[in-house]
Structure 1
Amino acid sequence: MSVTLRDCLKLPSLSLGKVIAGHKGLSSIVTTVSVLEFEDGMEEDIMTPNELLVSALFCLKDDVDAQCQFLRKCKHNGDVGLVLFYADMILGNIDAKLLETADLLNFPIILLPGKDMGLKYSDVIGDVMEAIFYDRKVNHYFVSSTIERLSQTPEAVRTPSLALQIASDYAKASFFLCDRQYHLIASSFWPASNYLNFEIVKEAFSDDPFTDHTVVKNQEDGVFFRTPFVEKDDSTLVLYAASKNEILYSGIMSEVVEIIQLFTALWHYNLNVSTKEAVIPALFDGKQHLVRHICQLTHLKAELYNEAMIAEVRDFTPEKEIQSFLAEVRLLFAKSSIPLIADLHGTHVILLYQNEMAVKNKLLEEDLKEILNERSFIPFYTYYHTETLFEELGKFLREYSKVKNTARGIYPHKKCFTAEDMRYALRILDLHNSVSAEKEYYCNLLRPVLDDKDIDLMLTLSAYLLDAASELKKASEILFVHRNTVLYRLNKIKSLLGFDLAKMPMAYDIYVAVSLYRINEQNA
């Protein structure tokens, strides 16, 4: 089994400390330890999955907001916890805002004795790394451990490149994944900043015909490996690697291949770049060079596509049902002669198509909504429209993956969402994760209603504003009470708040406050 944060707490150096926040994150896997004392060293586009950080926060000791932002960056980058040294000497005291942020992020803070200057960073690093090395020595589970780590990462960053990065950390080698025509799909380097030109690795095998086994070449730049393999759709991919040590061997190459195969099967990643559907994961990963190659190879005209529809799929839905749905949708678009790219990606069915706002497009969208609403395995779906779809979709898909549960939490009865709904949900999520004065303002805004003995008031306010779009009749239907009962409760709420729910600008503030309340309750 992998070493978790909970396991690390039993080590001699960390047994002296205590977890002061983020207790829900103690099951996270730890694979390495790093010291971080300089805030400028944090780049948001560099993933460091499963890394435990050691710090005294010296650079941030006088700025609580910067400390909170530090934790958010760490969480975003894949770090799993913070071991806090010398708190009494450096910070003086630990602000409640920092603890609240850690709890919101499920990011454990392990506080070591604050005045013990005899306890060194190297004590913790040595203990944790020794536990990790021992675990690897007695347990050989690289494949299952990697899949488990990937399952713990946010969907927005779970890509083949991340899988290869984990492999690079394990084998201390650089990896390149491509097709038979050498079109690069994903890559990772060891160390991360040590860029290696793929052309050098590829050329080393120029005189060797493709075989179904690993070929090894000893070169001046290191030892190069090549392993072809077949994906589930019978397409052939090739894994290359470059190593300057003796850790990597053909057995690890086979394990990395197995990880890629499991990754594509579990999270429905289409890596067959000879098909137009492969443009969807390429857009998600933000790999514009690969998008251009797929468009050229499959004769796709990016300018024809200006609308995307993302349908969420329930867990454990039989793939047969999903493929039947896709076949019906493809037939619908084919009958209207409208360009379509449709595929299952992760937990979504994604459709990319042309919407000219003509009559036939409106009729098609009505038919599409009818098909979507008939499918019980699709709880909700989202539309996204832009004339530069292939340039902007990747960013939106990653944003969508981050906020879809928040949007669903705000509007649990809603099935059809828009891009604007998702952007609003992102604002509420950012508010929820903050410890700002703005968040406090919105939380306090509803205090008179929450403090009232009538527990139905908050339920009514939420249903009226968020579920019924401020329609009295619809709110009464949702709440299963008479229209006059809803009206009575709303008048009481108006009296308690001192605001008219229909008059701007306070109407918007109350709307935001109720949205935030729902998310706070959901995550309580």
Structure 2
Amino acid sequence: MKVTLKECLALEEFKNARLLSGEQHLNSPLKSISILDVADKQRIKEYIAEKDTLLLSGFFATDWSLAEQKEIVDLLVAEKVCGLVIIPFENVVTPTLEIINYAEGAGLPMILLPKNKETNYASLIEKIMSLIIRGVDFENRLIINTIFHLLNFEKHATFEDAIKQAAIQNKFQFVLLSEDFNPILMVETRKKTSLEEVVAQARDRQFDRGAVYTRIDVKGILTYWGPVTVNGDKHYMLIVDNEDLYSASEITKLAEIIQMAMGMWKYTPQKDAKAEFIKALKRGNRSLAYALKDEINIDSESILSVFFAKGIENEAAYRTLLEFEKSDELGLLKIIEENETFGVLYSKEKREEESLSIKRGRCIDLFNKLKSDKKVRIFHVTGLDGIEGAAEAYRMIAESSAFVQKVFPYKRVFTKYELALISNCITLQTQGGYGKKNYLELLEPFKEGNENKGRQLLETLETFVLDAGMNSAKTSEFMGIHTNTVQYRLKKINEMLDVEITGNRVIPGLTIALALKRLERGDR
């Protein structure tokens, strides 16, 4: 249903017009219209909204020399303009044979309108834009067919049935999404690629959320995204053009018709129970979470992990999550809020103790796959006790996520162990008093004797315990010193603190003291 330049020339306004050049290019698509008449030819590009634009000009051959006209022809061809219409106003020069031949060689259709006092930019733009919006047979094929199905109250029992038939007949697909980008209503009419995958890949792309409608090409699949208000609530509508039949203007008109039909059917979208469930856990609203779990068909005891992630809103991460969601054994619920992802991983099968460790391991594998980008930060609690444990886990994540990065700056994935450590440190800092003082006093020996040497040993201990996982080789990498030097310093630290610090022995009190020290430095 795209309009071509040839179909445009069939309009009454082009009756008796002369085609000066570019006859072989008349089947080029026509998507937009603009005016060429600007004094500065350097600004011409500003008036070309997109490729396949038709330009109108009354002064093309009057304002510019022959050499400049040739430059402009080359520019228009490079910008993929579909044609140039010359309007012979009073006292203007028409194109010479030389520039006509040049345009012919360049492949630019040039059309000369007959002289007519009633011809002006406004009337031409109105007629051509009407053609672009309607299409040659637009009213017969898209508008009428869509309205016929959407508003056939005798044939269809629900809006869902009506939109499905309209989509099948007019070769488009339709998804209504919540504000959290969870699909609420999905009409799939083509199996080349699943709509779930299209949604997953397209929603990360940048689109203007305040306009209707942004076209996004997802690996050859043409999708159009735009906002829509249903019963006062904000949603997003995704329309897929199965065979590249419609222009953006036509898709916009289609979206308007669908929205109108929703109102006439008094259609009420289903509540996005999945998003509400996660939000209830985040807010600690356990009673609401219990009420919603049956709607989303989740057993409380099946919850394996909850997480909060930053930096995974990209195509590679979505593909990883999509593959995870295809699992027969494990499920994923997620919402996206301002480039932050919150999710719940759960078992689709009944909870069996012998398989729990395997499933938890797969959850951890997922987080490790997602951390490939250096900007990614993932905070998760894997291995918890139902809805109560999930709500408590989100409380701990909310409390600790900002601070845990100060203590473990080299980590990208933070588990419940790091989060619990920081949660305890925050409690100690908040309460103050002897609790915090007792831990920090464990580090007092580093202040005795040579100050520089003490600071050097404390830095080594911090790196060894908090960054390197009690590994001497990794400590040497982080600090840029030889492994033997690390071993020597650890020996000195053991003597100083009168403890045995090795890669196989964790000293909880010392770990908390070092974490408190880093938190204090990070707050300054």
Per the TM superposition, whether the score is higher than 0.5 is no
- What TM-score do you get using the length of structure 1 for normalisation? 0.43
Structure exhibiting the larger radius of gyration computed from Cα positions: 2
